[in-house]
Structure formats: structure tokens, C-alpha cells
Amino acid sequence: MSTFQAPKGTYDLIPPRSATFLAVRDAISTPVKNAGYGYIETPGFENVELFSRGVGESTDIVTKEMYTLTTKGNDYLALRPEGTASVLRAALQANLHKQGNLPVKLWYSGSYYRYERQQAGRYRHFSQVGAEAIGAEDPALDAELIILADQAYRTLGLRNFRILLNSLGDKECRPVYREALQTFLRGLDLDEETLRRAEINPLRVLDDKRADVQKQLVGAPVLTDYLCDACKTYHAEVRELLTAAGVAFEDDVKLVRGLDYYTRTTFEFVHGGLGSQSAVGGGGRYDGLSEMIGGPALPSVGWALGVDRTVLALEAEGIELDVPSATSVFAVPLGEEARRVLFGKITELRKAGVAADFSYGGKGLKGAMKDANRSGARYAVVAGERDLAEGVVQLKDMESGEQEPVALDALVEAVRAKLA
Ligand code: ATP
Ligand code: MG
């Protein structure tokens, strides 16, 4: 094993690609901030119980994918595999739901950990931006979240994605459907593990990616046919609001998603350029989650968008985000005195809000100009002893190559005027 090797299933974000990650997080969070969602940050680990109760004992996430550890103090913890359970736990702990302002709208951004088989677009450490609206049952809230995610992807320039939409019913109608599906599944030729899954969480079997399983599922009872009137009305309203907002979606009666806590609205954003890891984001309504983790009834809805896969989707569509060069001005000092004077000027420029950098390491003109080029700066400020004796620096336009002397005292203003 090489010493300089990140653990399996992980990778480092390094410049310049890392700038795209920041831009994606920004593009996703901007619309939610604009819609009244407040920022929340929770710990990178939680008690395992939160996830086993919240995400669900029968899910892959809990049975196979969690990184768990026992601390020296005998706490049984898990690195967070997802964000919703933590956010709800934190909201309950802070009594955010008791302040008469439901729904509580929160957004987050962070790292998540799942012990999965590494594939393109599937990692053991990945990054999500999520949004949750806690404590209100209102189809407009479900629609709002889908519209905001759609807006985020469109702002980034993505076009080759689709929105899949389904309703999973509620505690009235889902058990009836569950029963019918189970009866159907018991009559199929399935392997032992899948049969066991059919007993614990039959809806998950619909999500099975294997072709031979999918073939047998043709003719399986469809949840849509079992929805109670309240769920039907709710779902129709979500669909109408999306249509009115001009957001195109496709009904997908087999969309169940990998977490147990979803009720009613579920959705997934899938991208056409990502191969089998096609989901760039997903979410839905989780009306029962609060009670599952020991809280009061708090119907809620949310989504999590995968930053890594969104970046891959941008690359698949050949979209280069307009990430401006980090540096506008680069200082090239020639000699000791110039070093001190220009370092002072760089500090002044930065205070004035101009992105500025400096050639460190006492390089000569050639090496320092190479640094200036590499920085992508629009202007270089060059000064040697003779310039300083005259009270000037040379301001060089790195695009045209033109150079002019500027009085030291006037430098900050001159640069600001040129950049404006
Ligand atoms: P998948 O079906 O691909 O396993 P999921 O249903 O497990 O996805 P969610 O739990 O809904 O995913 O997480 C939301 C988003 O987070 C996904 O749509 C995806 O973009 C991203 N994501 C989930 N797991 C990973 C992973 N292991 N590596 C990279 N991104 C991931
Ligand atoms: Mg998964």
C-alpha cells in the first residue's frame, strides 16, 4: 500500500475541480435559503439507535452500510449515513417544533458515510446538500421542495435529468397494499434473502435492480390502485402544483426508495449520463419518522441531493461552470524592499475586497511572472528598486501585455477602477 493513498471508496477534492463542488453546493443552497430554509449543522456521528429506529432495521443502509464504532466510554455510535434523522433529532432536541412556527424549514450540507461497494458515482464518503420542512402536512410544501431542487439543477445548466414521482400511501392504505403485495411475492421464485425481505419490507423488493426479479414483478399489485381517498387527493394536489409551476415529472409506481420512513410523496431526480448510479437526488414525505424516533407526530417532507453525482452529471453534459479566477491581482516583487512594500499593498488590496496574491519564496522575475500567469490574475503588479525610488509600481495587464507605471499611493484605487 502506498502511503499517499486515500482509503478505498474515498477521494480528495482538489483544485481546480474542488471549485466546482463549492459552486454546486452554492447553487443547491441558494434557492432553499431564498425560500425561508435556515441552516442547520449536526454532528458527523450519532447514536446508532437513531438510525436503526429512524432509517429502518430492514434497510441496506442500517444492515450493511453503516460505519459503527464503540467508544472508550461504551457509546455505540455510527458515522451518519444520511441527514434526515439527525436533523429531525436536532429539531426535537431544540424544541424548534414548539415555537408555533410550523413548518420548521432547515437546510444542511455535509459529508455522509456508507460502507458500499465502490463504483462510478458510489463512494464510501460522499457529500449531500439537503432540505427538510418539518411539522406540516401540505401538498404545497412537497411541491415547493421539488420545484426548488429542479431550480437548483436548472441554474447549474443541467438538462438531461428527469423527475420520478410516486405516492407510497399512509398508515391507512399502505398496510392493505403491503398485504396484497406480500401475497403476490410469496408466489414468486425468489432467492432466500429476497423472500425474507418480502416478509419484512415487501415494498423494497419492487426496487430490486436485477432483471430476473423485475421480470417476475410484472403484474404485481400497484400501490396507486390501493391509495385511500386522502392520499389520492393529496397526491393529485402535488401533481397539479408541479404542473402549474412548469416542472415536468414522470409517474413511477415502482419508486419506493431505500429508506423505511417515507410516506405519501416520494421522488427521485435521475440523470441520463451517469450509468447505473443515475440518482442525483431524492426525497419524500416522512410523516411517521418523528414518532419512530420517540417524538410527537410531525408530518414532514425533505430531500437530499448528492453533490458528487451532480458534479459527475455536469461533466457528463460537458457543462463548465463559470467559476471566476480566484485571483485578480498578483504581486511580483524584485528585491527585498519591493517585497515589503508590495506585501503591504497586497494586504491593502485584500482589505479593499480585491482578490490578490503574492510571489513568495524570493523568486526572480521569470519565476515570479510564471506564478502570476498560473494564478489566472488579470493584473500583475511588478516593482523593483528603481520603481520604488520613483514612487511607482508597474501595473501589467496580463491579457494585453500592456504595462504602465502607477503611483504607489494610487494603486488600490487604480486597480479597483480597472476591475470594476
Ligand atoms: P442509490 O439508489 O444510488 O443507492 P440512495 O437511494 O441510497 O441512492 P439517498 O439515500 O436518497 O440515495 O441519498 C440521496 C442522494 O445522495 C442520492 O441520490 C445520491 O446522489 C447521493 N448518494 C447516496 N449514496 C451515495 C454514495 N454511496 N456515493 C455517492 N453519492 C451517494
Ligand atoms: Mg443507496
How far away, in angstroms, is 61 Cα from ligand 2 center? 7
Mean pLDDT across the stretch 161-170? 96
- The answer to whether position 188 is within a domain reads no
Beta pairing partners, 250: 164
116 lines ligand 1 (CB under 6 A): yes
How far away, in angstroms, is 109 Cα from ligand 2 center? 18
Same domain for 42 and 154? yes
- The answer to whether position 310 is within a domain reads yes
128 lines ligand 1 (CB under 6 A): yes
Predicted local confidence at residue 324, as pLDDT: 77
Ramachandran region, residue 230 (left: φ > 0; alpha: ψ -120 to 50; beta: rest): alpha
CATH number of domain containing 372: 3.40.50.800
pLDDT at 244 exceeding the cut of 80: yes
Mean pLDDT across the stretch 400-410? 97
- Closest ligand to residue 60's CA: 2
pLDDT at 278 exceeding the cut of 80: yes
- The answer to whether position 296 is within a domain reads yes
What is the Cα–Cα distance from 304 to 87, expressed in whole angstroms? 12
Same domain for 91 and 239? yes
Predicted local confidence at residue 394, as pLDDT: 98
Q: Which atom of ligand 1 lies nearest, measured to the CA of 61?
A: 7
pLDDT at 31 exceeding the cut of 80: yes
- The answer to whether position 349 is within a domain reads yes
In the chain, % of residues over pLDDT 70: 99
- The answer to whether position 190 is within a domain reads no
- The answer to whether position 189 is within a domain reads no
Give Cα 163 to chain centroid, integer Å.
17
Same domain for 249 and 384? no
Of 2 and 100, which is predicted with more confidence?
Answer: 100
Confidence of residue 258 (pLDDT cuts 50, 70, 90): low
Same domain for 151 and 244? yes
How far away, in angstroms, is 176 Cα from ligand 1 center? 29
Same domain for 360 and 254? no
Confidence of residue 119 (pLDDT cuts 50, 70, 90): very high
How far away, in angstroms, is 126 Cα from ligand 2 center? 11
Same domain for 91 and 159? yes
- Closest ligand to residue 64's CA: 2
- The answer to whether position 195 is within a domain reads no
pLDDT in tens, 194-239: 998 899 889 889 888 899 999 999 999 999 999 999 999 999 999 9
Same domain for 71 and 165? yes
Mean pLDDT across the stretch 337-357? 97
Range of the domain at 379: 329-419
Ligand 1, atom 5: closest residue by C-alpha: 258
Predicted local confidence at residue 1, as pLDDT: 59
Between CA 323 and CA 333, with CA 328 as vertex, the angle to 5 degrees is 140
- The answer to whether position 202 is within a domain reads no
280 lines ligand 1 (CB under 6 A): yes
pLDDT in tens, 71-92: 999 999 999 999 999 999 999 9
Choosing from 117, 309, 312 the residue with most ligand 1 atoms within 8 A of its CB, the one to mutate for a pocket test is: 309
pTM above 0.75, yes or no: yes
How far away, in angstroms, is 169 Cα from ligand 2 center? 22
Same domain for 26 and 98? yes
Confidence of residue 284 (pLDDT cuts 50, 70, 90): very high
| DSSP for 306-359, written as a single string | EHHHHHHHHHHTT-------S-SEEEEE-SHHHHHHHHHHHHHHHHTT--EEE-
CATH number of domain containing 44: 3.30.930.10
Integer CA distances (angstroms), 149 to 26, 244, 267, 299, 325, in order = 12, 16, 11, 20, 27
- Closest ligand to residue 268's CA: 1
Mean pLDDT across the stretch 105-109? 98
- Closest ligand to residue 282's CA: 1
How far away, in angstroms, is 95 Cα from ligand 1 center? 29
How far away, in angstroms, is 386 Cα from ligand 1 center? 61
- Closest ligand to residue 123's CA: 1
Q: Which atom of ligand 1 lies nearest, measured to the CA of 123?
A: 28
pLDDT in tens, 40-76: 999 999 999 999 998 888 788 998 999 999 999 999 9
pLDDT at 315 exceeding the cut of 80: yes
Ramachandran region, residue 15 (left: φ > 0; alpha: ψ -120 to 50; beta: rest): beta
Same domain for 110 and 89? yes
How far away, in angstroms, is 229 Cα from ligand 1 center? 32
pLDDT at 365 exceeding the cut of 70: yes
In the chain, % of residues over pLDDT 90: 87
pLDDT at 378 exceeding the cut of 80: yes
Same domain for 166 and 271? yes
Same domain for 297 and 345? no
Q: What is the mean pLDDT of the chain?
A: 95
Is the distance from CB of 295 to CB of 273 less than 8 angstroms?
no
How many domains are contained in the chain?
A: 2
Same domain for 246 and 145? yes
258 lines ligand 1 (CB under 6 A): yes
